[in-house]
């Protein structure tokens, strides 16, 4: 049984101030919660309907049974479905390695759906880490988490000073720029950085000077621009080809 204070606490994650500052976050829906259970992330409590609980084995975390009416009150989704988990935010203690892997850098990505899709796309191509500028959408925004479809638990995402990172690491920086060389004429190294800029403004001037390999996706039709997440997927596909 959930008490009133718990209900208000879960409901409060609808507000940015809460999900940005709390040490916990919520995960909703069977798919996302199953991905969370398979991960190494710490789960504090699960709230679920009887149907969901009966379909599980013994779970290593506290589970509170709620009915659909209560789940509707707790949820931030338009169509709540079976289960909500409360988990602890990850504290990364180990420094990120850069010289043996490929890292995505995101400068000012504003749309939560774009960020979530980029994380999901990175996971598809085996990329384990993404660094984002401080003005990029918040990783723990419920819309970001939901749009990753569980990839958020496999890809490490950190908000950092991107300029400090590229200055300190002598690695190739591939930047998506309108005046770049066709990506099909560029061999993208297995290690380095891929920088993707803001949906409307692109990579900021302060970071553009660090791009060692400006690249672009050739345009064959009349569309004005590409969605940032779509562009990331196209470039990563070429990187893996």
Q: Where in the chain is the domain with CATH 3.40.1280.10?
A: 102-240
Q: How would you list the strands of the sheet with 173-182, edge to edge?
A: 156-159, 129-132, 102-106, 192-196, 173-182, 213-216
pTM of the model: 0.94
- From first to last of its 241 residues, what are the pLDDT tens digits of the chain? 788 999 999 999 888 888 888 999 999 999 999 999 999 999 999 999 999 999 998 899 999 999 999 999 999 888 888 999 999 998 876 777 898 899 999 999 999 999 999 999 999 999 999 999 999 999 999 999 999 999 999 999 999 999 999 999 999 999 999 999 999 999 999 999 999 999 888 999 999 999 999 999 999 999 888 999 999 999 999 999 8
Phi, psi of 154 (to 5 degrees): -115, -20
Question: 41 and 87 in contact (C-beta within 8 Å)?
Answer: yes
Torsion sign over Cα 219, 221, 223, 227 = negative
State the helix-helix crossing angle for 112-124 and 228-240, rounded to 10 degrees: 10
- Top-tier CATH class for 102-240: alpha beta
* 4-88: CATH number: 3.30.1330.30
> Is the backbone of residue 51 left (phi > 0), alpha (psi -120 to 50) or beta?
alpha
Q: Where in the chain is the domain with CATH 3.30.1330.30?
A: 4-88
Q: What is the pLDDT of residue 47?
A: 96
Smallest CA-to-CA distance from 207 within 174, 236, 180, 183 is with: 174
Q: What is the pLDDT of residue 57?
A: 87
C-alpha–C-alpha distance, residues 77 and 47, integer Å: 15
Burial of residue 220 (number of CB atoms within 10 Å: 0-12, 13-18, 19+): exposed
């Amino acid at each position: 049984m959930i008490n009133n204070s718990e209900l208000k606490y879960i409901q409060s994650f609808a507000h940015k101030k809460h999900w940005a500052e709390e040490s916990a976050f919520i995960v909703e829906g069977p798919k996302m919660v199953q991905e969370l259970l398979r991960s190494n992330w710490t789960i504090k409590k699960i709230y679920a309907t009887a149907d969901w609980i009966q379909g599980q084995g013994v779970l290593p975390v506290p589970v509170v049974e709620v009915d659909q009416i209560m789940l509707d009150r707790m949820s931030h989704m338009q169509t709540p479905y079976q289960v909500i988990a409360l988990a602890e935010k990850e504290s990364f203690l180990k420094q990120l390695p850069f010289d043996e892997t490929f890292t995505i850098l995101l400068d000012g990505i504003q749309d939560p759906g774009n960020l979530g899709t980029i994380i999901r796309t990175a996971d598809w191509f085996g990329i384990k880490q993404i660094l984002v500028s401080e003005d990029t959408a918040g990783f723990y925004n419920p819309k970001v988490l939901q749009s990753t479809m569980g990839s958020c638990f496999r890809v490490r995402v950190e908000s950092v000073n991107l300029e400090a990172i590229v200055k300190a690491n002598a690695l190739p920086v591939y930047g998506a720029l309108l005046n770049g060389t066709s990506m099909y004429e560029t061999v993208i190294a297995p290690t380095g950085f891929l920088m993707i800029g803001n949906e409307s403004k692109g990579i900021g001037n302060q970071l553009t000077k660090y791009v060692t390999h400006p690249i672009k996706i050739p345009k064959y039709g009349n569309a004005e621009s590409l969605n940032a997440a779509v562009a990331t997927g196209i470039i990563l596909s070429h990187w893996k080809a």
